[in-house]
Amino acid sequence: MKTPILTSVVALSLMSSTALADGHLMFAPGEGGFGWDSYNAFADSTDLSGQTLEITGPWTGDEKTKFDAVIAYFAAATGAEVSYSGSDSFEQDIVVSARAGSAPGLAVFPQPGLAADMASQGLLTPLPEGTSDWVANNFAAGQSWVDLGTYADADGNDQMYGMFYRVDLKSLVWYSPEAFDEAGFDIPETMEDLKALTEEIAAAGETPWCIGLGSGAATGWPATDWVEDMMLRTLPPADYDAWVANELKFDDPKVVAAIEEFGWFARNDAYVDGGASAVANTDFRDSPTGLFEIPPKCYMHRQASFIPAFFPEGTTVGEDVDFFYFPAFAEKDLGAPVLGAGTLFAVTNPSDAATAFLDFLKLPIAHELWMAQGGFLTAHGGVNLDTYADDSLRAQGAILQNATTFRFDASDLMPGEIGAGAFWTGMVDYATGASAEDVAKGIQTRWDALQ
């Protein structure tokens, strides 16, 4: 028999909205601005006393600690015994355990590709009927998340296997509010505005952008993100999907045009700190430092939500540096597309407890509890944005809420030899002077050789 909610949660935490118990930021029922009504209704209707649920995924360290705090509320509501194990070798481990018939109930996949492969091999169980409709109606850009979680089964039939949970955001431009204010620059609302601002900054004798593609053996990947964002801003989502699937060829004029949109920014000496020749040679971790120089060596830097980890020590996001949405072309009328990544839950060993946990993930509180701990973004449309840990995360969450289309990083979905090979090196070639047509043709030739 499950333990009453209040008693269980208080046993796990202190009776305070700011209490830190065993490393878990925990809140007693009714506190914290969370969705307690739906949580209490879920608890009243779900009794899993005596049942166990094992979950595995890529989260370790601090991320595991935060997810354990979320799991505690599911256990308190249902009476189930739940355990989560994280591993740096998750991708290998889950395949081995699934083929051996010893997989846990649920697995957390860091990208759709592996989940799609396992679904095609019959190693995943389709999500309960109605899940796709629920996601479409309750997530921002909901159909995008349905599409990203839908794969062909062993018979070639499309079914929904994955429900997304934690999301990463890539369509961001970082800037110094103080530098913008002193120069009188306005935040651009469209891609046309962003290009005009770039020209305005250069005309004033300043440098608009810092761009760096260096990343050791992975050099080139930051440029693939630029191109992916440009694909979403110049073409309908269906074309982006066709490109990922090699149905729209890399050397198609549409793709070449998106590469050249990146080149408009990166291949102009007046637009980039150090000139265009510095782009390929500057490490991506060092490239944003120009924002913080006095006077600034650049005014803008396009990079994902993780880049503050490489800002100078003591930098405060929202004060010393801030961000805005990498905007869409007004003339293209493609809405507000967002590029990113994310983790999804899939059933690797079906049970009542696994199904109930998926129902739990539909509740706002399953997201809000991690939102309050920091390091978490979600596309769930029902969450209270006020529960985000800080204003920066709240603003990024709002960008996700306003997205009309979300697409996963294309290079992560392409075959490794392309997405983490030819695409990376091709972008370095392009940044150092090769034509977009030749680069695109070379990448496509490599892809054709894989067939």
Q: Which two tokens stand for residue 215?
A: 């990343």
| pLDDT score of 219 | 96
Q: What is the Cα–Cα distance from 197 to 191, expressed in whole angstroms?
A: 10
| pLDDT score of 19 | 30
| pLDDT score of 32 | 83
| pLDDT score of 18 | 31
| Strands (E) located in 195-335 | 301-302, 322-325
Residues 171/344, Cβ–Cβ less than 8 Å: no
Average pLDDT score over residue span 100-121: 95
Q: Which two tokens stand for residue 155?
A: 């018979």
pLDDT higher than threshold 90 for residue 46: yes
- Confidence category of residue 24, pLDDT binned at 50, 70, 90: very low
| pLDDT score of 3 | 55
| pLDDT score of 69 | 95
Average pLDDT score over residue span 267-292: 97
Cα first-last separation, the chain: 56
Residues 408/224, Cβ–Cβ less than 8 Å: no
Please state, for a pLDDT cut of 90, what percent of the chain lies above it: 92
pTM: 0.90
pLDDT higher than threshold 60 for residue 20: no
Tell me the per-residue pLDDT of 75-98, one tens digit each, with 9 for 90 and over: 999 999 999 999 999 999 999 999
- Cis ω before 236 (30° cut-off from 0): no
pLDDT higher than threshold 70 for residue 14: no
Tell me the per-residue pLDDT of 128-176, one tens digit each, with 9 for 90 and over: 999 999 999 999 999 999 999 999 999 999 999 999 999 999 999 999 9
Which 3 state secondary structure label does DSSP give 20? strand
Beta bridge partners of 172: 325
pLDDT higher than threshold 70 for residue 438: yes
Q: What is the Cα–Cα distance from 418 to 413, expressed in whole angstroms?
A: 10
Average pLDDT of the residues of the chain: 93
Which 3 state secondary structure label does DSSP give 405? strand
Average pLDDT score over residue span 325-352: 97
Please, which residues have CB within 8 angstroms of residue 33's CB and are 6 or more apart in sequence? Answer: 368, 384, 386, 387
- Confidence category of residue 421, pLDDT binned at 50, 70, 90: very high
- Confidence category of residue 28, pLDDT binned at 50, 70, 90: confident
| pLDDT score of 15 | 29
Average pLDDT score over residue span 288-299: 96
Please, which residues have CB within 8 angstroms of residue 101's CB and are 6 or more apart in sequence? Answer: none
pLDDT higher than threshold 70 for residue 2: no
The HSE-up count of residue 308 (CA atoms within 13 Å, CB side) is 18
Decide which of 203 and 10 is more confident: 203
Of 22, 164, 1, 12, the residue nearest 73 (C-alpha):
12
- Confidence category of residue 25, pLDDT binned at 50, 70, 90: very low
322-325 and 24-25 as β-strands: parallel, antiparallel, unpaired? unpaired
| pLDDT score of 1 | 53
Q: What is the dihedral of CA 303, 304, 307, 308, to 10 degrees?
A: 110
Q: What is the Cα–Cα distance from 31 to 59, expressed in whole angstroms?
A: 27
- Confidence category of residue 30, pLDDT binned at 50, 70, 90: confident
